[in-house]
Structures are given as structure tokens and as C-alpha cells.
Amino acid sequence: MTMDMTAEAAERDRIIGELTQKRSHLVTVAKQVADQLAAVGTVTSIQVRDRMREMGYGPAMDAVDPRWIGALFRVGWYRVGYVPEGSHCRPVAVWSRSKP
């Protein structure tokens, strides 16, 4: 079981790394947006995505695999909870720059 989870985590990291390189412009903008939103509290990937759409990045985001957003909260962020903001009210992680 541990081997499968390790292999799964390695594959996830490989995919996120690849998507980060291929979508570097979107990731760069999204990191800036996440930092701005987190400056006044916490942030979710949904909030980042919505703000980027307001900024005009909707077509660019719609044209690519949405998993690139997983690269945002890899380093320097702390998961502090979940909210039902995902599609069909699925839980979405809430992130902070400060340890809980």
C-alpha cells in the first residue's frame, strides 16, 4: 500500500512539475493573485481562478488542463481547512501563508 501511495505521489509531482513548466505564465500570474488574496486572510484555488477570470485569463485557462493550479500551493503555504466551493459543493482546501 505504501508503495502505491509513493508511486502515486511521485506521479502527481511529475505531472504538476510538467504543467508548471508548460503553463509558467498562468502559474506566475496565479501565484501573484494568491499572494494578494492571502494578504488579507486565506485563499482557495477557486478564488484565484475567479479573480484570474475577472482579469481576462478565462480563455487561456479554459484552453489548458486545469491541474496546473495545483502548482500554486506547493511551497510556503499551509492548509488551514476546507470549504464546499468546488463543483457540486466538493471540498476545496483553504490556504494561508501563516502556520495554523
| pLDDT, position 17 | 64
| pLDDT, position 1 | 44
Cell (9 digits) for 98: 501563516
Q: Of 65 and 50, which is predicted with more confidence?
A: 50
Domain boundaries, the chain: 2-75
Nearest in space to 26 (alpha carbons), one of 3, 2, 59: 59
- Tell whether the torsion through CA atoms of 21, 22, 25 and 26 is positive or negative: negative
pLDDT tens, residue by residue, 18-61: 656 656 788 889 999 999 999 989 999 999 999 999 999 999 99
> Is 80 exceeded by the pLDDT of residue 2?
no
- Tell whether the torsion through CA atoms of 6, 8, 12 and 14 is positive or negative: positive
Cα–Cα distance for residue pair 71/48, rounded to 1 Å: 12
